[in-house]
Amino acid sequence: MYLFNTLTKKKEHFVPLEDDLVRVYVCGVTVYDDGHLGHARSAVVFDVLRRYLIFKGFRVTYVKNYTDIDDKIINRALKENRPWTEIVTQYIEAYARDMHRLKVSKPDVEPRATEHMPEIIDMIAQLVEKGFAYQINGDVYYEVGAYKGYGRLSGRKEEELLAGARVEVDERKKNPMDFALWKASKPGEPGWESPWGSGRPGWHIECSAMSIRHLGRTFDIHGGGRDLVFPHHENEVAQSCAYTGQEFARYWVHNGFVTIDDEKMSKSLGNFFTIKEIFEKSNWKDSVTGETLRYFLLSTHYRSDLNFSDKALSEAKSAVDNLYDLFRRLEESDSTFKGDNDQALERPLKEFEKQFEGAMDDDLNTPRAIAEFQRLRGEINKLLSAGLSNQAKKKAMGSFLKFGAPLGLWQVATKDWEFSPFTVKLSVADSGTVELEESIVIEKGEPSDEWVEQQIQRRREARERKDFAEADKIRKEVESKGVKLEDRPDGTTRWKR
């Protein structure tokens, strides 16, 4: 398998440090607000990386942190006049819920900064001791000039950084690029006792401390959004390598942004909206919304930017609907089965498997992998109309399930799939804020299955006595409630929401 490594700026053959064990650390979120679609993308991308590694037969230790102490958390607590711990608890729960709805598997370890204070303090102390950091009035700074490899990850030279520096000038720093490892706490702020007085860790040190603690001094993959490359990951590399004297993460993997009107989704632009919002305003049940979002998020290569819109989402939904339509037919036993094309199924399945792995092995090319699924859909549809035994259909369905697993797709029970179109409208208001406007016509869970079955029975009787006007009237009535009827060749009728 090949992965694009930000460190070397090229695709590299991925080989873990220790035979079949892959150690992965992914930067999680700072828990001071609800997660937005950008967070969803990062989470899904690395979830797929993890799933695919397991699919390939690796064992994976997957660590994803929560940053649970930070200026933004303190500010939010101050603003809302609540304890900061309450903010943290609330948003960790919210994030966990989002992840669950997106079908992102739970990491093996979910460390929190506040639970690693001894390691963090010890690491800073040693950096000071080794001459890579210095203390000023209770603050501790990392001295960029003392480490020769600074800028390696982000591809910057120190002079360039200085030339373009927009960093707030702090006269006390030896170099404007020096960054805080430890921040002295002001009265009333949360603080932990340390050799430099009461304070809290800087943003970057926690990830170094937690990754080293849970994965060792050198581990395989470190991931996160592209915006973390500089300064966050650059700083992590600097402080970690200075601390351990050895290599830190071997492969750095970064995902592209989610954009709105081709601009990065971000808090400051106000063009973001939350994962929670999409689920709550969607007219589908969570499993269907989650699947649609996953499909959408994986339909573009992870390193490219991905533009979000209501149109893009409904296109994704249509594409997934067509797959589930096939799944339903694969699961129906067909009493009119005639031909025998079971043998003809072998070749497309084999070819698909080969292409799927080829795509995924090539730097996690999920758009290509998805295209292969679509191609297979066409092949199987053809065979299906020619006639496939129930056993062959089961086998075909098995392939979708098996190869969909690494993407986290096709796992919704077909009876739970909802075929109704997307009815949530996304709009960017003049103010620059993004809103989801609801235009839901159909209540969730309505009408009842029993009612639909009754109408189908009524319609069948009408059709039998050739009263097509009545039959069409019933169809219209049922459709007005969001249910579509499909007559099958054997005279039975299937229906879908």
Please state, in angstroms and rounded to a whole number, the distance separating the CA atoms of residues 100 and 438: 23
- Rounded to a whole number of angstroms, the minimum distance from the CB of residue 480 to RNA is 13
Residue by residue, DSSP assigns 193-248 as --TT-SEEE-HHHHHHHHHHHHH-SSEEEEEEEGGGIIIIIHHHHHHHHHHHSS--
Choose between 115 and 487: whose C-beta lies nearer to RNA: 487
Choose between 165 and 441: whose C-beta lies nearer to RNA: 165
- Rounded to a whole number of angstroms, the minimum distance from the CB of residue 472 to RNA is 4
What is the amino acid identity at position 485? L
Q: Which helix (H) or strand (E) holds 171?
A: none
Choose between 17 and 371: whose C-beta lies nearer to RNA: 371
- Rounded to a whole number of angstroms, the minimum distance from the CB of residue 398 to RNA is 19
Please name the residues in contact with 255: beta carbons below 8 A apart, sequence gap of 6 or more. 41, 42, 45, 46, 223, 224, 225, 226, 302, 303
Please name the residues in contact with 371: beta carbons below 8 A apart, sequence gap of 6 or more. 359
- Rounded to a whole number of angstroms, the minimum distance from the CB of residue 184 to RNA is 17
Tell me how far CA of residue 180 lies from CA of 24, 371, 375, 378, 462, in angstroms: 25, 46, 52, 56, 78
Retrieve residue 290's tokens.
Answer: 């989650």
Of 413, 407, 345, the C-alpha closest to 371 is 407
Retrieve residue 293's tokens.
Answer: 């979002």
Choose between 91 and 196: whose C-beta lies nearer to RNA: 91
Helices (H), 387-467: 390-404, 449-464
- Rounded to a whole number of angstroms, the minimum distance from the CB of residue 46 to RNA is 9
- Rounded to a whole number of angstroms, the minimum distance from the CB of residue 170 to RNA is 12
The rounded radius of gyration (Å) of the Cα atoms in the chain is 27
Beta strands in 41-105 (DSSP E): 59-67
**Strand 263-264 to strand 249-255: parallel, antiparallel, or no bridges (unpaired)?**
unpaired
Phi, psi angle pair for 13, to nearest 5°: -65, 125
- Rounded to a whole number of angstroms, the minimum distance from the CB of residue 20 to RNA is 27
Choose between 266 and 414: whose C-beta lies nearer to RNA: 266
- Rounded to a whole number of angstroms, the minimum distance from the CB of residue 164 to RNA is 2
Retrieve residue 374's tokens.
Answer: 């679509």
- Rounded to a whole number of angstroms, the minimum distance from the CB of residue 190 to RNA is 17
Please state, in angstroms and rounded to a whole number, the distance separating the CA atoms of residues 130 and 2: 37
Choose between 17 and 230: whose C-beta lies nearer to RNA: 230
Choose between 122 and 351: whose C-beta lies nearer to RNA: 351
Please state, in angstroms and rounded to a whole number, the distance separating the CA atoms of residues 135 and 333: 74
Tell me how far CA of residue 164 lies from CA of 27, 160, 170, 304, in angstroms: 26, 6, 16, 26
Around 423, how many Cα atoms within 13 Å sit in the side-chain half-sphere? Answer: 16
- Rounded to a whole number of angstroms, the minimum distance from the CB of residue 161 to RNA is 5
Please state, in angstroms and rounded to a whole number, the distance separating the CA atoms of residues 244 and 209: 11
Choose between 109 and 485: whose C-beta lies nearer to RNA: 485
- Rounded to a whole number of angstroms, the minimum distance from the CB of residue 129 to RNA is 25
Choose between 41 and 281: whose C-beta lies nearer to RNA: 41
Choose between 228 and 349: whose C-beta lies nearer to RNA: 228
Choose between 263 and 342: whose C-beta lies nearer to RNA: 263
Retrieve residue 79's tokens.
Answer: 């603003």
Choose between 146 and 360: whose C-beta lies nearer to RNA: 360
- Rounded to a whole number of angstroms, the minimum distance from the CB of residue 201 to RNA is 12
Asked if residues 482 and 441 have their Cβ atoms less than 8 Å apart, the reply is yes
Choose between 8 and 246: whose C-beta lies nearer to RNA: 8
Retrieve residue 403's tokens.
Answer: 């190869």
Please state, in angstroms and rounded to a whole number, the distance separating the CA atoms of residues 415 and 104: 22
- Rounded to a whole number of angstroms, the minimum distance from the CB of residue 468 to RNA is 3
Retrieve residue 466's tokens.
Answer: 């050739």
Retrieve residue 493's tokens.
Answer: 């009728």
